[in-house]
Amino acid sequence: MTVLVKPKPIEGHKVRAFQMLIDGKWVDSAEGRTIERVAPGHGVTVSRYQAGTKADAEKAIAAARRAFDEGAWPRMTASERSLVLLRAADMIAERADELAYLDAIESGKPISQAKGELGGAADIWRYAAALARDLHGESYNTLGDGTLGVVLREAIGVVSIITPWNFPFLIVSQKLPFALAAGCTTVVKPSELTSASTLLLGEILEAAGVPSGVVNIITGTGPEVGAPMTTHPDVDMVSFTGSTGVGRLTMANAAQTLKKVSLELGGKNPQIVFPDANLDEFIDAAVFGAYFNAGECCNAGSRLILHRDIADEVTRRIAALSAKVKVGDPLDPETQVGAIITPQHLEKIAGYVSAASRDGAAVAHGGTALDLGMGQFMAPTILSSVRPDMAVAREEVFGPVLSVLTFETTEEAIRIANAIDYGLSAGVWSRDFDTCLTIGRRVRAGTIWMNTFMDGASELPFGGYRQSGLGRELGRHAVEDYTETKTLNMHMGARTGWWMPR
């Protein structure tokens, strides 16, 4: 059984209409078309955005280009930019409840989770503000008496930032403040499913003192708006978070003009569990890792790789705890798993479960969509007897579906963990620190959690190996990702020419 929290009609429901931010002005799209967002947990329209076009994208890119080439932002001192980012962080914190509500109602995530994400986002903006003042180059006075070398770090220029629907405000906050800290100007495209909180961020940045044209926010679909943002010759860098398939397309588009590309893509993240692990703590982490954000999370711990000696016991205990997870109304503070983003995505998740069952996997818990009277929901699901070659064990389901695999030796566990295309994150559970370090060194992933799962901090880099992406976000080098290095090679005194006698 699953604990259900049936959605209630939204009190005082009113559709909120938004415009786009281009060159410091709030404007409608060039063609006047709009996009309506239906709340996945309540089945009613809650937001209306402008349906941007290529013409709108080009206007935004031109504004960002002017702001970079001629405007004040790249020429401000680092301390001046830092103060603007700090003001923005304070305003984000002040409006956290409003921002969290928009993310919860549009994405279907639980309101309590959305509020937690807003706290994390404000911290990231403050961290980026600190890094703005620490960005520096290098000097070399060891090249001989007649030579001095200076290496500058300069803002890369205009950055296209494209963000997904699963963490609307948090992910834009992992990109935008660092680009601004470096002195870049930007064009931001949030997902057409969850644009509201990013548009509200535009209001906040205007109030915080970001000059016109430095942050442009356009709404619309990938083909209409995202594509020109990745191909336009006046864009110097693309920072994209989303699916691996769209990431490949983004990279191919950017290659036409050899732009710098940062990609944070999919994951199929294992948790490897040994018999000596603290199983009480692991089982809680396993349920959290699988069902957090309804599994619509690139970092989801969607593969359990359990030692055969404990596999049956652990699966039973995870199923028992899964039955207590509260699923339903995103606006109820007690909800732990909210709605699935669209009916089409719910159908895709259910399709993975059905295919796995046909291939011999057993449904240890859940396995079906839930009818709560409105919206679309999926029961927390556990699939046991999963083989490494099954699609559900190799592909990103992006839903609350946990696949259980087994191993006998450390070598086998590492082989199973690495035998996929992704390498975003992984977890290992053992009281033996040698075992943890062995897994940590040999599993090919950007983050390895040891005796915990999905912890994070602004100071710690985030990103993946292989088809989980390129580059890293967060961490002390995050601002540097939005810069180019320039060498100044200075000669002093008389120079010996090529044709002059030596």
- Taking the C-alpha atoms of residue 127 and residue 86, their distance in angstroms, rounded to an integer, is 9
Give the position of tokens 């996945």.
Answer: 40
- Residue 377's φ and ψ, nearest 5 degrees, are -140, 150
Residues in the chain: 502
Tell me the torsion sign for CA atoms 303, 307, 308, 314. Answer: negative
* Catalytic entry in 117, 264, 296, 473: 264
- Taking the C-alpha atoms of residue 221 and residue 167, their distance in angstroms, rounded to an integer, is 17
Q: Is 299 left (phi over 0), alpha (psi -120 to 50) or beta?
A: alpha
- Taking the C-alpha atoms of residue 356 and residue 285, their distance in angstroms, rounded to an integer, is 24
> Where do the H-state alpha helices sit in 273-342?
279-291, 308-322
- Taking the C-alpha atoms of residue 439 and residue 120, their distance in angstroms, rounded to an integer, is 29
Helix, strand or coil, per DSSP, at residue 247: helix
- Residue 76's φ and ψ, nearest 5 degrees, are -65, 155
CA angle 32, 36, 40 (to 5 degrees): 165
- Cβ(119)–Cβ(99) under 8 Å? no
Q: Is 214 left (phi over 0), alpha (psi -120 to 50) or beta?
A: alpha
Q: What is the 3-state secondary structure (H, E, C) of 100-161?
A: HHHHHHHHCCCHHHHHHHHHHHHHHHHHHHHHHCCCCCEEECCCCCCEEEEEEEEECCEEEE
* Catalytic entry in 298, 396, 436, 473: 298
Q: Closest Cα to residue 339, out of 172, 106, 145, 176?
A: 106
Q: What is the 3-state secondary structure (H, E, C) of 37-101?
A: EECCCCCCEEEEEECCCHHHHHHHHHHHHHHHHCCCHHHCCHHHHHHHHHHHHHHHHHCHHHHHH
Give the position of tokens 């003192």.
Answer: 209
Residues sharing a CB contact under 8 Å with residue 358, sequence separation 6 or more, in sequence order: none
Helix, strand or coil, per DSSP, at residue 286: helix
**Whole-Å CA distances, 96 to 119, 129, 153, 292, 435:** 8, 19, 34, 20, 41
- Taking the C-alpha atoms of residue 98 and residue 200, their distance in angstroms, rounded to an integer, is 9
Catalytic status, residue 297: no
Catalytic status, residue 264: yes
Catalytic residues, which ones? 264, 298
